[in-house]
Structures are given as structure tokens and as C-alpha cells.
Structure 1
């Protein structure tokens, strides 16, 4: 999948995959409606960084979730 373009479909995909990797239980945090496409590059950077890790510590997961909360509308 080509994630270089800031589209709603790519945003939804990125948020879904981030949620899976971070084991997010409250998926409301990752509702694509709550994110602006103008923040796509920030989300793409987080996605790329998270996906390079084989596993994440609890503190890393918490830090990424906090960063997502900062990016939300």
C-alpha cells in the first residue's frame, strides 16, 4: 500500500495499524474523524517509527498514545 499521499483512506489505515501495534483497547482514540489530514505527515512519521519496532515497552506505548492525543483535533 502506498502511504505517501495524505488521503482519508491512508489515514484510516495508519490509525488502525497503530492501534493494533499499541494494543489500544479504546479505539475511539483512533477514530480518523478526529484527525486532520494536515497532520498526516506527523501520523505517518509515528506509524513508520512504531512499525520498525518488533515490540514496544509499556512506557513506549504510553508515550506514543500521548503523542497521538496531542495530534488529535
Structure 2
């Protein structure tokens, strides 16, 4: 999958992978259509960081979740 292109499909893929990796129970709040298109690169950076790690501390999960919330459309 070519994540360099800002598409709804790529955004959905990255969000689903982040939710799986972080075992997010409240993943329903994260939807691709609610994210700001202009911050696609930020989402990709978060995705790449999450994909590269196998374990996360509680504080890391909180920080990632907070950052994802920042990307949502106002």
C-alpha cells in the first residue's frame, strides 16, 4: 500500500492499524472522515511510529490518543 498518497482509503487503513496496535476500546471515536485532510502527514508519522514499536506505556498511549484527537476536524 502506498501511504504517500492522501486518500480516504489510506487514512482508514492507518487509523485501523493504530487502533489494533494500541488495542483501543474506544476506537469508534476515530473515523477517517473526522480527520483533517491537511494533517495527513502528521497521521502518517503517528502511524509509522506506532507500527515500529511492539509495546507502549500508558503515558505513550495517552499521548498518541491526544495527538490523534488534535488531528480531528474542528
TM-score by length of 1: 0.93
Q: CA RMSD in A?
A: 0.9
**Cα separation, 2, equivalents of 1:54 and 1:28:** 23
Is this contact kept in 2: 1:11–1:37, CA < 8 A? no
1:53 is matched with which residue? 53
What is the number of equivalent residue pairs in this alignment?
Answer: 73
TM-score by length of 2: 0.91
Per the TM alignment, residue 38 of structure 1 is displaced from its structure 2 partner at its CA by: 1.4
**Cα separation, 1, equivalents of 2:8 and 2:33:** 9
Superposed counterparts of 1:1-73, under 5 Å: 1-73=1-73
